[in-house]
Amino acid sequence: MFVVDEAMTEAVQRAFEERGEWPAVAELRRHMPMADNANALRTVRTIASWRRCPDPARQAPTA
């Protein structure tokens, strides 16, 4: 188990969107050591799929 902070999430997602899966794996490895390609790729795909939750303060009130 490990913790992924916001900066790492953004870096991995940016690498994934701009250059693809394997460059995103390289970016992930800059932040944490992962020797296993399968786990690194699975982790990158998971991080790439994350989306921010809507800010409840910005949601329109319901009547």
Residue pLDDT tens, the chain, 63 long: 788 899 999 999 999 999 999 999 999 999 998 889 999 999 999 999 998 777 777 766 665
Q: What is the pLDDT of residue 63?
A: 59
| CA–CA distance, 39 with 54 (Å, rounded to integer) | 29
Q: What is the pLDDT of residue 60?
A: 64
Q: What is the pLDDT of residue 59?
A: 67
Please, is 51 exposed, middle or buried when counting C-beta atoms within 10 Å of its C-beta (0-12, 13-18, 19+)?
exposed
